[in-house]
Amino acid sequence: MSTARTCKNCGKKFYPKSYYSYPQFYYGTSDDDKLAYARFHSLGCMTDFLRNNKEAFANFVDGIYENVIQNETTIDQIINK
């Protein structure tokens, strides 16, 4: 079965397990992780997508920061008191 995916920005076909898929992964990352997380065929497409959706991306990052990172910090502070 083919592992080809479609770029979320331009619709171009790409192969997530190849070296050219984005976001990039460190050497040794499993093919399962690459298949699960690669969304773009090039850095340019990923950058264009983020630029075109900057408001949604900013809200997403703020939501992660507030709901995950701040909560973990608060829990750690409570536990360590």
Per residue in 29-74, pLDDT tens? 888 888 888 999 999 999 999 999 999 999 988 888 887 766 666 6
Looking at this protein, which amino acid is placed at residue 67?
N
0.75 surpassed by pTM = no
Judge whether 21 and 34 are in contact, CB under 8 Å: yes
- Three-state DSSP class for 22? strand
Looking at this protein, which amino acid is placed at residue 81?
K
Q: Confidence class of residue 78 from pLDDT cuts 50, 70 and 90? A: low
Instruction: Tell me the per-residue pLDDT of 7-25, one tens digit each, with 9 for 90 and over.
Output: 999 999 998 888 788 888 8
Give the H or E element holding residue 54.
Answer: helix 54-64
What pLDDT, on a 0 to 100 scale, did the predictor assign at position 42? 92
CA–CA dist 78, 65 (Å, integer): 18
CA–CA dist 19, 32 (Å, integer): 14
